[in-house]
Amino acid sequence: MEQTKSSRQTEKKESVKPSIYSMELDELKSWLKEHGEKSFRAGQIFDWLYIKRVTAFEDMTNLSKNLRELLAEHFVLTTLKTAIQQTSQDGTMKFLFELHDGYTIETVLMKHEYGNSVCVTTQVGCRIGCTFCASTLGGLKRNLEAGEIVAQVVKVQKALDEFGERVSSVVIMGIGEPFDNFDEMLSFLKIINHDDGLNIGARHITVSTSGIIPKIYQFADEKLQINFAISLHAPNTEIRSRLMPINRAYKLPELMKAVQYYIDKTGRRVSFEYGLFGGVNDQIEHAEELANLVKNVKCHINLIPVNYVPERDYVRTPKEQIFRFEKVLKNRGVNVTIRREQGHDIDAACGQLRAKERKEETR
């Protein structure tokens, strides 16, 4: 049987109250009814949380004092403390947030011509172990609650409020493997997508996975209209297993089958992320092999110049080689783009800021 939000919450230590940002609108309605309140108050609470964006229950002035006290008794409102906030020359903003238990997570705001995009974290650390990634260096500490993911968007929106701007899109591409924290991630999606709340359109949300195959099937069955990306990074099983140990459990041919199931089920195109790692997967023959792999797949390929991670010894592919790689794919009719880099001067790539902090802590 599917575990409900409240049962997940009661499993937690009693001393830690759940975040109100973890509650979907319908869950809030049921909770209110159970506590002798009218369910329409849920819409008012959503309005205070996501439209007026207050930071204390007592500011929710159209609720009775009793209800405000009841909420404060059962939930916390502020779950993230801003430890570091940096702005890059290109406008990218990076936040390091401290959680109630002292762990830190990163969130990045990217400025694009089409709007403001927030990259959220779903786990403290990661257990997937990709050999090029900074997020996985210390292993997985714990999953985030839906509300801790929602609060990242709210915090960034509050920073944007100062400029009268709005978060227009969300990418679930920060630290962690979202499909390894699947239920909380789905709750997060429902909360930020709700039109009584932040109202971020499904087509403005992207989730990326390293390829947890059973969850891809489950995700496909949800038939959401959100954008779906898969970290592919290799044209064949041998190279993928070298870069991403998860490929030993969830092999490339099965991954491609699951992706095809997703496409058939949703009718949507997928994105493949392909990091170019010098001498490993960036040769012309790899581009040819990649073109064959995705030949009949409704997809788009995002080429990512590798972000240098001091603990990892991968080298960057020279620019001309990246263009040659792209050209091979284009000539073979594959939709492909090279990812624009942002926030270099503030360690905005996945896990870099947090990795740096961790190192300073252990010094």
Which residue ranges make up the site for ligand SAH (CB under 6 A)?
Answer: 130, 132-133, 173, 177, 208-210, 231, 273, 275, 304, 306-307, 309, 350
Phi and psi, residue 100, nearest 5°: -60, -25
Hey, is 292 helix, strand or coil? helix
Q: Which is nearer to ligand SAH, 263 or 304 (CB)?
A: 304
Give the separation between CA 222 and CA 185, rounded to whole angstroms: 13
Q: Which is nearer to ligand SAH, 30 or 206 (CB)?
A: 206
Q: Which is nearer to ligand SAH, 148 or 177 (CB)?
A: 177
CB of 130 to ligand SAH, least distance (A): 6
Q: Give, to the nearest 10 degrees, the angle between helix 319-331 and helix 284-293.
A: 40
The active-site residue out of 24, 37, 106, 148 is 106
The active-site residue out of 37, 145, 326, 350 is 350
3-state helix, strand, coil in the chain (%, to 5): 40, 20, 40
Residues in the chain, how many? 363
CB of 23 to ligand SAH, least distance (A): 25
Give the separation between CA 232 and CA 163, rounded to whole angstroms: 37
Note if 350 is an active site residue: yes
Known binding-site residues equal 126, 130, 133, 176-177, 208, 231-233, 307
CB of 39 to ligand SAH, least distance (A): 36
CB of 122 to ligand SAH, least distance (A): 8
CB of 68 to ligand SAH, least distance (A): 38
Hey, is 133 helix, strand or coil? coil
Task: Compute and round to an integer the Cα radius of gyration of the chain.
Answer: 21
Known binding-site residues for S-adenosyl-L-methionine equal 176-177, 208, 231-233, 307
CB of 350 to ligand SAH, least distance (A): 5
Hey, is 40 helix, strand or coil? coil
Q: Which is nearer to ligand SAH, 167 or 216 (CB)?
A: 216
Phi and psi, residue 109, nearest 5°: -110, 125
Q: Which is nearer to ligand SAH, 60 or 307 (CB)?
A: 307
What six digits make up the tokens of 290? 């990649």
Q: Is residue 146 within 8 Å of residue 184, measured between CB atoms?
A: yes
Q: In this structure, is the dihedral angle defined by the CA atoms of residues 231, 267, 256 and 124, taken in order, positive or negative?
A: positive
Q: Is residue 354 within 8 Å of residue 104, measured between CB atoms?
A: yes
Q: Which is nearer to ligand SAH, 108 or 198 (CB)?
A: 108
Note if 299 is an active site residue: no
Count the Cβ atoms, other than its own, within 10 Å of residue 285. 9
**Angle at alpha carbon of residue 354, lines to 350 and 355, rounded to 5°:** 85
Q: What is the DSSP letter of 49?
A: I
Give the separation between CA 151 and CA 314, rounded to whole angstroms: 34
CB of 310 to ligand SAH, least distance (A): 11
Give the separation between CA 221 and CA 106, rounded to whole angstroms: 30
Q: Is residue 303 within 8 Å of residue 321, measured between CB atoms?
A: no
Known binding-site residues for [4Fe-4S] cluster equal 126, 130, 133
- Please report, in angstroms and rounded to a whole number, the separation of the first and last CA atoms in the chain: 46
Residues belonging to the active site: 106, 350
